[in-house]
Amino acid sequence: MLKDALLVGLGSFLGGSARYIVSKLLPLWIASPFPIATFAVNIIGCFIIGLLTALPTEGWLSTNTKLILTTGFCGGFTTFSTFMNENNALIKDGNIMMAAFYIILSLALGFAAVIMGIQLAKAI
């Protein structure tokens, strides 16, 4: 388990670093009030985790490499990719209502939590 945690940590470091680089460079190339960097990272992360999840472990990626890239890199790059991958798994397993509940609740409570955090910070 410690080895796996270190592998995930390595991947997270690389993913978080990549996210930071994209967030600094993309706005230099595309000027927009739309949060293009976060949007791009989320969509790219979803594509990467979908690709890696679908690749067979045998012959393509070792279990350790898949762990570094999915849980580590994609998790550090964006948790949105993991969120979408989990919803895909719920739908594949026939849990469509659970996926819908997870999506709606995550978006609503996530947004509410951001607002509450902002309000708390203003009150301090």
The vertex-41 CA angle with 40 and 45, nearest 5°, equals 115
Q: What is the percent of the chain with per-residue pLDDT over 90, rounded to a whole number?
A: 50
Whole-number pLDDT of residue 45: 87
How confident is the model over 87-99, as pLDDT tens digits?
A: 999 999 999 999 9
Tokens of 123: 């009150």
DSSP state, 41? H
- Terminal-to-terminal C-alpha distance of the chain: 40
DSSP state, 59? T
How confident is the model over 2-61, as pLDDT tens digits?
A: 999 999 999 999 999 999 999 899 989 998 878 888 888 989 888 988 888 887 766 778
Q: CA separation (Å) from 55 to 10, 15, 84, 92?
A: 21, 20, 17, 16
Whole-number pLDDT of residue 124: 74
- The domain segmentation of the chain, as residue ranges, is 2-78
